[in-house]
Amino acid sequence: MRIVRLYCILLIATFQAQAGLNSLASLSQEQLRQQVEGSDWYACGERELRYCLDEFGYYRLSFYAELVITADTVNLTLLAPYSAHQLSEVQLNLRRDGFQLDRISIANESFNVTEALRLAKSTKQRNQVDKALIQFLNRFPQEAVREMDWTHTKWQAILHSDGEMMTLTLRPNLERLNDEID
């Protein structure tokens, strides 16, 4: 019985460590650069510093990852075959990491969440924005082409899906970084 309990504790601790390590919001550009050294990342670019990883874990999800390093920034792109479940999980994980949905475009129609919330002056109006967003999302099939822009203090994330592939691109939030410098 003790062995089973110990195994469960180790399993939970390992999972939490992996989830924390791959929490996108907690990663800095420098940490992403350092992950390339001494790990399973391999060079996969001809003209630029591009590194790839066949199994990148983001919480419980697995992606193919590409990391592009320039003099100024680091961009991380995660790719996976589309599934409605995985698309939902990525959105939940982004929220868990503190990202906020700014804008969503589906089938050439857009909903600007940030602008709608900026115009909402009361809790009731903010709740109406939530309702309108849900209605907007429910108007389209889950596999419809969509692009969601998310922001965090350090990062901007773009989640794109087309019913076949899903791509999550993480870029430094230069707008926020420039505000901090000014």
Residue 87 lies in a domain: yes
Band (pLDDT 50/70/90 cuts) for residue 26 is confident
Residue 79 lies in a domain: yes
d(CA 146, CA 13): 35
- Does position 12 have pLDDT exceeding 60, yes or no? no
Mean pLDDT across 156-165: 97
Residue 80 lies in a domain: yes
The CATH number given to whatever domain includes residue 161 is 3.40.1000
Side chain identity at residue 140, one-letter code: F
Beta bridge partners of 169: 77, 158
Q: Which of 5-14, 40-49, 67-76 has the lowest mean pLDDT?
A: 5-14
- Does position 11 have pLDDT exceeding 70, yes or no? no
Number of structural domains, the chain? 1
* Pair of tokens at residue 155: 């990062």
Q: Which domain holds residue 68?
A: 20-102+145-172
- Does position 62 have pLDDT exceeding 60, yes or no? yes
Distance of CA 20 to the CA centre of its chain: 14
Query: What does the pLDDT read at residue 10?
Result: 32
Q: Does residue 102 contact residue 113 with C-beta atoms inside 8 Å? A: yes
Query: What does the pLDDT read at residue 23?
Result: 80
* DSSP 8-state secondary structure symbol assigned to residue 26: G
pLDDT digits (tens, 9 = 90+) for 97-149: 999 999 999 999 999 999 999 999 999 999 999 999 999 999 999 899 999 99
Residue 15 lies in a domain: no
Query: What does the pLDDT read at residue 82?
Result: 97
- Does position 181 have pLDDT exceeding 70, yes or no? no
Instruction: Give SS3 for 102.
Output: strand
